[in-house]
A and B are shown apart, each in its own frame.
Chain A
Amino acid sequence: MSTTNNIAQARKLVEQLRIEAGIERIKVSKAAADLMSYCEQHARADPLLVGVPTSDNPFKDKKPCIIL
């Protein structure tokens, strides 16, 4: 009984590997270039990367100015 299960499982694994073997791929150079380009394009809009000025930081407690 476990032999039939093993064969059924093996058939499924082969089927799955066929799917994965048959996918379309692109070159790493293109993939890398696209990742780098995305990072560059969005860098300015990445607060953790470029920093957040206190006035724009919703999480920073703004200390009130006391006029002496």
Chain B
Amino acid sequence: MGEMEELRKEMENLKDQITAARKTFQDSTLQEAAAGVTVVGRVQLKTRKTLRGHLAKIYAMHWGTDSTLCVSASQDGKLIVWDTITTNKVNAIPLKSSWVMTCAYAPSGNLVACGGLDNMCSIYNLKGKDGNVKVMRELAAHTGYLSCCRFLSDTEIITSSGDCTCVLWDIETGTQKTVFAGHQGDAMSLGVSPDFKFFISGACDFTAKLWDIREAECRQTFGGHESDINAIGFFPNGNAVITGSDDATCKLYDLRADQELLTYQDSSIMCGVTSLAPSKSGRLLLAGHDDFNVNIWDMLKAERVGVLAGHDNRVSCIGVSTDGMACCTGSWDSFLKIWN
């Protein structure tokens, strides 16, 4: 029992050390630094396309790197690859399990992945020889639902799970390369850094964690949210992290200063954040909420500069294309919309 007490004391000491260290580097705030910056003018985006075809709630979407194709996952049991310009369905992939919660497009455009309450991440080859899209691998080992997945390449993918872990998989062998354990609650979302060396995860323990993929360790943990973190993403230069939570706020954390810089909140916003995406320059933050809307924030000034209203149910997913030309929203109303 003596060791437990000692360990507890050391934990408290280290936590105090981290808090104190962060304070030493807090010589200013982003608010002060950006005081002279003019708020972005009102942002009014219009729906340019509506992608119709899913028959039930859409839970996830992900842009392909070509900024034209995207994949969406719905609990109608289908993955659909869309040409967002023509609105044509390039592929409609029937899933073994309809309880899908996430999907991802490989940077190469060759593969898509999805998973959910089946606890597995299924990889599909879009470019099979006979033209049929088939399951290429079923990555099974998680003991909880698959909440998110993101490809590093055609041979590696990272998953986050309700079992509180994130995993790096070798797609060819179907095995776990690294298990990233540390979260004390369901891992809900993940994002990969622009240089592919790190990833961030947000969880139901109200924290976000930064992981070094090759060193296989957690480098930093960020707290402050008062409820589950449902959405997470990197600021475009990879130096900061944005989180969205059930506490109805988004937060910006700087990785090099190791602390929170801003909170995006408004007393009129009472619904949890389900999804988020930064615009190409990082100046705008688009956040999807349970109240059917997307709020657009000036990321430097923490002021709301626009709203996307057009869905008839919760906005469950959002993504900005690689070239920054458009934003795609997916909703429980079964539609995807393209805005710019």
Residues of chain A at the chain B interface (Cβ within 8 Å)? 3, 6-7, 10-11, 13-14, 16-21, 23, 25-36, 38-39, 41-43, 45-49, 52, 57-60
Q: Which residues of A contact B221 (CB under 8 A)?
A: 16, 20
Quick check: B325 and A59 within 8 Å, CB to CB?
yes
Q: How many angstroms between the C-alpha atoms of A52 and B280 in the bound complex? A: 13
Please determine whether B28 and A45 come into contact, CB atoms closer than 8 angstroms: no
B219-A47 in contact (CB<8A): no
Q: Is the CB of B219 within 8 A of A48?
A: no
A39 and B299 contacting across the interface, CB-CB below 8 Å: yes
CB atoms of B261 and A31 under 8 A apart: yes
Known: A17-B11, A30-B257. 18 other contacts (CB 8 A): A6-B4, A7-B4, A10-B8, A10-B11, A17-B10, A26-B257, A28-B28, A28-B259, A30-B256, A32-B33, A33-B33, A39-B299, A48-B43, A48-B326, A48-B327, A52-B340, A57-B48, A59-B84
Q: Is the interface of A mostly helix, strand, loop or mixed?
A: helix
Q: Chain B's nearest CB lies how many Å from the CB of A45?
A: 7
8 inter-chain pairs at a CB distance below 8 angstroms, sorted by A residue, are A21-B21, A25-B24, A26-B256, A27-B257, A28-B261, A35-B261, A36-B300, A42-B281
B22 lies within 8 A of chain A by Cβ: yes
| B235 contacts chain A at the CB level, 8 A cutoff | yes
Please tell me if the beta carbons of A18 and B14 are within 8 angstroms of each other in the complex. Answer: yes
- The interface stretch among B101-109, B112-120, B236-244 is B236-244
Chain A minimum-CB-distance residue to B220: A20
Q: Which residues of B contact A42 (CB under 8 A)?
A: 236, 280-283
- Which residues of chain B are near A21, meaning CB under 8 Å? 14, 17-18, 21
Among candidates B27, B32, B217, B282, residue contacting A39 with C-beta atoms closer than 8 Å: B282
Pair A26/B340 contact, Cβ less than 8 Å: no
Whether, in the assembled complex, B248 has its beta carbon less than 8 Å from a beta carbon of chain A, the answer is: no
> Which residues of the partner chain B approach A39 to less than 8 Å between Cβ atoms?
281-283, 299-300
Residues of B within 8 A of A48 (CB): 43, 45, 279-280, 284, 320, 324-327, 340
**From residue B223, how far is it (CB to closest CB) to chain A in Å?**
11
Nearest residue in A to B235 (C-beta to C-beta)? Answer: A35
B130: shortest Cβ distance to chain A, in Å? 31
Report how far A39 CA is from B301 CA in the complex, Å: 12
**Shortest beta-carbon contacts, A-B, top 9:** A32-B33, A42-B281, A46-B281, A59-B48, A17-B14, A31-B257, A10-B7, A29-B28, A31-B254
B1-35, CB < 8 A from A: 3-4, 7-8, 10-11, 14-15, 17-18, 21-22, 24-30, 32-34
